[in-house]
Amino acid sequence: MAGGLILGVLACLWMLRSPGAGSSAVLPSGVRIKVEGVTFGTRHVFSTDSKLKRAVRSVLSARLKNWWPAGYTSDVQTSETNALVYLSAFDPAKSVYIRPNWDHFQVLDQHGCVWPVRAWSGPQGTPAFCVSAIYLPSFPRRSATLKLRVFVTGGDAVEMVAPNPVKGPFPKWTPEPLPATRTTNNISFELRELEAHWASDGQNGFNAMYRVLKDGTDVTPQWRAVTEFRDETGNVSERLCPYEPVWKVEAKFFKTARATFPPEKVWRIPGIRMPENGRAVIFDQTHQVDNHTVHLAAFLAPGSFKFSNNVVLAMSPWQSGMTTGSSSSTRSINNGPSITTMQVDSKDPAVLLSMSNLRSPEHLLVLCRDQSGRVGQAEFRSNVGDQYLFAFPNWRNVSSLDLELIFQEPIPVEFTVAPPKPPQRRTASDQK
């Protein structure tokens, strides 16, 4: 009798397992894509079991736990506040959960604006149940639901609805007129206007136009800005909804190659011979740049390179069809020191270096000067851990050069403005 009662209670609790939190849709292949849940914050605990079931299991005996197995649970930390949408893909023909190849995702708001999605996890779990987590740092937060557009490799796409995990109220800001100016250390940063590029598919683009003055002299070419927009609901992105009443324009101003720098902030390596295609100049040098330790590994001509603990294992010329990028793997032999193998492929001359406390690539300015005095500024291409690859596009036909590494702290500036006004939608009566 007691055993039957226990089983009955367990059966009731099983019925209380966490249900799917959103809608589902079916691909042409018959696979059903479903929104299983949504979390919000920096710690994300998702489970197919309800809180009640998890609580009851924690006090059950080992024997009862074997009769009543736990569901799928994941626990993820994010460095910034995100919404995580959990998607499953179920194949009813095989009665199993599958691992689809996601191509990309989009979130749409009620105005038709498209919010880009840049990160997601591959399916985690077993054929009994597995999910993928879609990371949304920015999304429409005023609506009760989110419209998620899912694209699978091969061209198939479906739309689904997920609940919005964010609730108001939200603060209200007061916009200032443009142009607006902020001044620090005799340098004035002026936000002149916000440019908008309206797209018919809702993937609008926005640019902040600045002017920089030093003691009244225009020095705009000596500075570049890294800009993000923030709205009242907490979104931070380079693309927000223009139907929001107010944006904050958050800019970090860095110096460019046209600016001057104190000598103590510059590590200059003169007289580097430009290597031939597929070859490298190996340095293995470490230097202090403005209290930051920089290790310069190599200057690379276009080509493919393989390093092991900064020792070159293989080099070959750049060939058509190759892809720029870097990757690495680490292993230890007989519990000895770790050996890191790194593959670097670059179609342009490049610098390979490491910097353990580099907060972002924008903080390091990498320049080269040729024998005629021409200056080139490197572009950040990729990194693996604390190893960074900076490339010089279109930097060819040079016999020798001077390399300069400059660490810099940006000047942060913030403005509070009204976003660009979207074009008025034409109605049927307007078109008559």
The full set of domain ranges for the chain reads 16-163, 180-256+413-417, 263-319+339-408
User: pLDDT at position 11, please?
Assistant: 45
- Calculate the CA 385 to chain-centre distance: 15
User: pLDDT at position 425, please?
Assistant: 60
Residue with tokens 């039957």: 4
Determine contact, residues 159/147, Cβ cutoff 8 Å. Answer: yes
> Rounded CA gap, 300 and 282, in Å?
8
User: pLDDT at position 20, please?
Assistant: 42
Topology given in CATH for the domain delimited by 16-163: Immunoglobulin-like (2.60.40)
User: pLDDT at position 57, please?
Assistant: 67
Determine contact, residues 389/351, Cβ cutoff 8 Å. Answer: yes
In the three-class reduction of DSSP (H, G, I as helix; E, B as strand; rest coil), residue 279 is classed as coil
State the pTM of this model.
Answer: 0.81
- The token duo for 374 is 């021409």
Determine contact, residues 349/274, Cβ cutoff 8 Å. Answer: yes
| CA-based R_g, the chain, Å | 27
Determine contact, residues 305/280, Cβ cutoff 8 Å. Answer: yes
Q: Please report, for residues 6, 54, 263, 332, the alpha-carbon distance to residue 59 in angstroms, rounded to integers and kept in the order given.
A: 14, 9, 67, 42
Q: Please report, for residues 60, 368, 374, the alpha-carbon distance to residue 401 in angstroms, rounded to integers and kept in the order given.
A: 71, 6, 9
Residue with tokens 């009862």: 64
> Rounded CA gap, 275 and 281, in Å?
7
Pick out the chain residues at pLDDT < 50: 1-20, 426-432
Which amino acid is present at 168?
G
> Rounded CA gap, 190 and 415, in Å?
10
Determine contact, residues 405/267, Cβ cutoff 8 Å. Answer: yes
The C-alpha torsion from 53 through 56 and 58 to 59, rounded to 10°, is: -170
Strand order through the sheet with 102-108: 114-117, 102-108, 145-152, 157-163
Determine contact, residues 132/87, Cβ cutoff 8 Å. Answer: yes
> Which H/E stretch holds residue 24?
strand 24-26
Note if the bond before 270 is cis, omega within 30 degrees.
no
> Rounded CA gap, 350 and 344, in Å?
10
Determine contact, residues 73/45, Cβ cutoff 8 Å. Answer: yes
Q: How many CA atoms lie within 13 A of 80 on its CB side?
A: 10
- The token duo for 162 is 């997920």
> Rounded CA gap, 88 and 21, in Å?
12
User: pLDDT at position 17, please?
Assistant: 41
> Rounded CA gap, 286 and 389, in Å?
16
> Rounded CA gap, 359 and 337, in Å?
27
> Rounded CA gap, 143 and 168, in Å?
10
Give the count of beta carbons closer than 10 Å to the beta carbon of residue 240.
22
